[in-house]
Amino acid sequence: MGPDSRFRALFDDPRWALAIVRATVLEAAHPQIGAALLDSSTFVTHPWRRLRNTLLSLQRMFGPDDHVRQREAARLNRLHARLNGTDARHRPYDALDPAVRAWVVATLFESAVTMCRMSGQPLDQEATEQLYAEFQAYLAALGDDGGHLPPTLHEFWSYYDRVVEEELENTEAMRIILYKLFDHLPAPPLLHGLPTLWAAGRAVAGPVIGAVTVASLPEPFRRRAGLPELPGTRTLMQGAYLAVGLARLLPEGWVSAEGITDLLALSPGSDDPRARTVAALRDRMKRAGALIRLLTPLPPEPEPAADDGTRRSAEEFFAEVLDQTGNGYLDWPDLAAMARELSGRLDLDEPEETRLYDAFADWWRELQSALDTDGDGRISAHEYAAAVPSLAGPALIKVAEVLFDATDKDGDQTIDAEEYRTLFHTAFLRDPAGTQVAYTRSAFVKDFLSFMSGRRRSTAYDPLLADA
């Protein structure tokens, strides 16, 4: 492990983008993982946030600092300990199941090997064994016993084929990734305000990515899952891997994962020196979008509300903020996703992390008691809209106070500029809008309640909890 590992080099290999989609599909096809994704994940509604968090986690795990690696492993274990339940067929799932975690690592390793083979540059035996050893070390860093991944590379392939043929299923989570995620993928911050251009590009890229991914899956699973392979898709798949691989010939640093994520998250109003270039790029994109609208008219966009732009309806707030998992309901996994995002941004350890989760759990019980009128254990958009949207009881106030304490690292009862950045930075931006020198407890609680009760938009909280 470390910056010189083979796995670390994958981060900046453009082919890895296709391989990680393939690995995610194979993970989601496992019944336990598919159930956990469907119940608790935000990968459909907040894919760019999920991408950023995954990249950050891998950077920590494969970086040079062993202390950082140990803290990240402990954080991942706490996160996985909270992901358990039963699927639609009443089968239990548990994200700490060592066999399940071994399968996640197995899909990443096998997809990396397949990625190289499909692009005409297969790894030799020595390189493959080294990469496998690094993935085994990754699993060991999480504290899992080595027995759940075969000890040798030769034994791995038999294990992999057995799981593919006997355990994987055509799960709903897998179908969402293949056929829904890319069709509804929201624009990254760089392309906000350019819906026509984004929709046109997505309409072309979405089906291609889905077809390439299906063609790259193991044939026994494709047959058993009933996944159609259209004529010519294998040629398309190989061409896609070869074409994406050519990006490696660009000057060093142009295709770094962090640089690309940084660029996608960049907005013209940031303090980044590239903001002027992005602003000019957006202007050209708007012109291209106007041309596309002339050539292929789309349905007219809704007129903006006649107010100052800071208010939103109860339905908008429910969909954009409360329903983090995108299933159309508000339940505990949605608030747990908020707690998870806030804990990750603040890099909380115990007991602060559990204190924040407990505060959100109390708020969920308060919301459920007040709004769940039909007693089904969850809150629909209609139930929320029919109630008082500005509901802000004692439990939500407690969430605000706990979050303030977690952000106020030095305990001086004010949030300084650096502490503010830690909570509100958007992806890799250095300075979020509205950075304050001294943010008092009362002001923080007031702003948090104003946002979380659905009364007003917020330039700080919207990128934190509402943006994709």
Supply the pLDDT for residue 74. Answer: 94
pLDDT value at 301 more than 50: no
Supply the pLDDT for residue 429. Answer: 37
Please tell me the distance from the alpha carbon of residue 142 to that of residue 306, in angstroms, as a whole number.
52
pLDDT value at 392 more than 80: no
Please tell me the distance from the alpha carbon of residue 291 to that of residue 295, in angstroms, as a whole number.
6
Supply the pLDDT for residue 145. Answer: 72
Tens digit of pLDDT for each residue in 413-452? 999 888 888 888 753 333 444 445 578 999 999 989 888 8
Q: What is the pLDDT averaged over residues 38-50? A: 83
Supply the pLDDT for residue 266. Answer: 55
Q: Of the segments 265-279, 357-371, 385-399, 425-439, which one has the largest average pLDDT value?
A: 357-371
Tens digit of pLDDT for each residue in 118-175? 888 889 999 999 999 999 999 999 988 767 899 999 999 999 999 999 999 999 999 9
Could you give the percent of the chain with pLDDT greater than 90?
38
Supply the pLDDT for residue 32. Answer: 95
For the stretch 386-413, what's the b/e string if a residue is b when 16 or more beta carbons lie within 10 angstroms of its beta carbon?
eeebeebeebbebbbebbbebbbeeeee
**Sorting pLDDT into bands at 50, 70 and 90, what band is 6?**
confident
Supply the pLDDT for residue 390. Answer: 57
Number of H helices, E strands in the chain: 22, 6
Quick one: which of 390, 392, 417, 231 has its CA closest to 317?
Answer: 390
| Average per-residue pLDDT for the chain | 81
* From the candidate CATH numbers 1.10.238.10, 1.10.1660.10, 3.40.30.10, 3.40.50.1820, the one assigned to the domain spanning 314-466: 1.10.238.10
Please tell me the distance from the alpha carbon of residue 25 to that of residue 22, in angstroms, as a whole number.
5
Supply the pLDDT for residue 8. Answer: 78
> Residue 98 to residues 145, 154, 296, 395: CA-CA distances in angstroms?
8, 21, 51, 36
Between 236 and 186, residue with greater pLDDT = 236
CB-based contact 105:138 (threshold 8 Å): yes
Question: What DSSP character marks residue 271?
Answer: S
Supply the pLDDT for residue 96. Answer: 92
CB-based contact 419:273 (threshold 8 Å): no
pTM of the complete model beyond 0.75? yes
Question: How far out from the chain centre does Cα 61 lie?
Answer: 17
Looking at the chain, which residues constitute the CATH 1.10.238.10 domain(s)? 314-466
Please tell me the distance from the alpha carbon of residue 311 to that of residue 462, in angstroms, as a whole number.
12
Please tell me the distance from the alpha carbon of residue 402 to that of residue 415, in angstroms, as a whole number.
13
